[in-house]
Amino acid sequence: MDTYVARQPIFNLRKKIFAYELLFRSGTANAMGNIDGDAATKTVLANSFFSIGLDTILGGKKGFVNFTSNLLISKVPLLLPRKTIVVEILENVEPTPELVEACRQLAQKGYTLALDDFIYNDIWRPLLKIAHIIKFDLRQSTFEQIEDYISRLDNTGLKLLAEKVETHAEFDSARRMGFEFFQGYFFCRPEIVQGKEIPGAQINLLQLMAKINQPDFDFDQLEKVIERDVSLSYKLLRYINSAFFAKAHRISSIKQALVYMGQVEIRRFVSLIAMSNLATNKPNELVRASCIRAKFCELMPGSKADPVTRAELFTLGIFSLIDAIMDQPMAAIMEALPLADSIKSALVDNTGPLYPYLMLAEAYERGKWKLVGPLAAALKLEHVSLPGLYLDACKWADSLTGTA
């Protein structure tokens, strides 16, 4: 059975990753909202994460997983590790005595319980007494309504999580209200300040990223840059000896590393280091998300007849969040860089032959499964291959960002 999994980051107050919500479905026909408690669905929930590998998709963080009433009563969460999984109780479950007792047993066994898309009603009182986290959807309730709901809570130990946080202003408002956790794509949006210019040092880093991804870049020159920089050399050796490459023997010299990795991978590595230096005041997840998207896009072309190159797609992905990293309009950043017009048109105008690949990557990342199939079909991609490509991209990014 095919399993499609994406992850959405959940941040703490310091914008550090606390957990990921796992967004998934089985096959290509039904979205997650249609999942019931039958045996096939239980198999997906209970076993697919083990075949995928929780460490691969979660990178050592906790994972929020939605459970229906049937799955909770059937004790399916007990098949998953309690230290890793946060049991999300869907908003459409009926809090019957049987369900409340099942949740109480989960809590007693050490599982963390979260109430999803919460809107206050007295029928939730029994679950509120045993839950640990309560999630409020900012697209579903206003801050005034949420404040009213919070005032009615008896369990003062509940931690508050704001989901679908799409702007930095919403993050700040939720933080002031007492929320401790934040879920959404606010971190992917720039905080643009009118009149702010890009510093010269950052322009140099941006231009380095752009130049090293050009096919005619002098590789000997790149080798000299790495050898002169102790920090860069150290990070390179850490990366080449990471689990991603799975080598029998450690590589201990820069020359060995360069030979083993080759020009393409070395360029990717230097791009990441440059981008990390640009994102020193940003959440680490922003750099990681850029890397995942870059590798995911690079792996997408399914045939030699595809008119775009893997190098173009990688560059597209790695620069796709640069406006959020730089807090500048994408058009202003692109104007200063020697990138191909096809990349610029995709990033600035949402047009051109590369843009559909970016659309597909974004749809997959956000678990917009109804869009993934048609977008993949339009690009003549085998949609069944996408989960494997996404997981490979996650592995690659986790290995790479551990050096940054």
Instruction: Tell me the C-alpha distance between 373 and 385, whole Å.
Output: 11
Instruction: Tell me the C-alpha distance between 399 and 236, whole Å.
Output: 11
Instruction: Tell me the C-alpha distance between 22 and 24, whole Å.
Output: 6
Alpha-carbon distances of 273 from 140, 208, 229, rounded to whole Å: 39, 11, 12
Q: At what angle do helices 219-228 and 254-278 cross, to 10 degrees?
A: 80
Q: One-letter amino acid identity for 401?
A: T
Summarised one tens digit per residue, pLDDT across range 289-308 is 999 999 999 999 765 556 78
- CATH 3.20.20.450 domain position(s) in the chain: 3-188
DSSP character string of 24-45:
EEETTT--GGG--SSHHHHHHH
Query: Does residue 149 contact residue 141 with C-beta atoms inside 8 Å?
Result: yes
DSSP character string of 63-76:
EEEEE-HHHHHTTG
Which residue shows structure tokens 């790149």? 222
Q: What's 334-349 look like in SS3? A: HHCCCCCHHHHHHHHH
Buried b or exposed e, range 25-46, using 16+ CB within 10 angstroms: bbeeeeeeeebebeeebbebbb
377: which residues sit within 8 A by CB, 6+ positions away?
383
> How many separate helices (H) and strands (E) can be counted in the chain?
19, 8
Q: What is the DSSP letter of 401?
A: H
Q: What is the pLDDT of residue 275?
A: 83
Instruction: Tell me the C-alpha distance between 198 and 404, whole Å.
Output: 22
Which two three-digit tokens encode residue 169?
A: 């202003």
Instruction: Tell me the C-alpha distance between 97 and 103, whole Å.
Output: 10
Q: What is the pLDDT of residue 26?
A: 61
Q: Which residues of the chain have pLDDT under 70?
A: 1-3, 26-53, 155, 193-197, 200-201, 216-217, 219, 222, 225, 229, 244, 246-248, 302-306, 401-404
Q: What is the pLDDT of residue 41?
A: 47
Instruction: Tell me the C-alpha distance between 387 and 159, whole Å.
Output: 32
Q: What is the pLDDT of residue 30?
A: 42
- CATH 1.10.3210.10 domain position(s) in the chain: 200-401
Instruction: Tell me the C-alpha distance between 350 and 232, whole Å.
Output: 34
Query: Does residue 354 contact residue 343 with C-beta atoms inside 8 Å?
Result: yes
Length of the chain equals 404
Instruction: Tell me the C-alpha distance between 345 and 329, whole Å.
Output: 14
Instruction: Tell me the C-alpha distance between 197 and 96, whole Å.
Output: 58
Nearest alpha-carbon partner for 49 in 4, 19, 10: 4
Nearest alpha-carbon partner for 124 in 81, 92, 83, 162: 92
Q: One-letter amino acid identity for 145?
A: Q
Query: Does residue 276 contact residue 404 with C-beta atoms inside 8 Å?
Result: yes
Q: What is the pLDDT of residue 38?
A: 42
What Rg value do the Cα atoms of the chain yield, rounded? 23
State the sign of the Cα–Cα–Cα–Cα dihedral 251, 254, 258, 264. Answer: positive
Q: What is the pLDDT of residue 40?
A: 41
H/E segment holding residue 89: strand 85-89
Instruction: Tell me the C-alpha distance between 26 and 376, whole Å.
Output: 17
Q: What is the pLDDT of residue 305?
A: 59
200-401 falls under which CATH superfamily?
Hypothetical protein af1432 (1.10.3210.10)
| Reported CATH class of domain 3-188 | alpha beta
H/E segment holding residue 19: strand 17-26
Q: What is the pLDDT of residue 358?
A: 97
Q: What is the pLDDT of residue 2?
A: 58
Which residue shows structure tokens 């096959």? 27
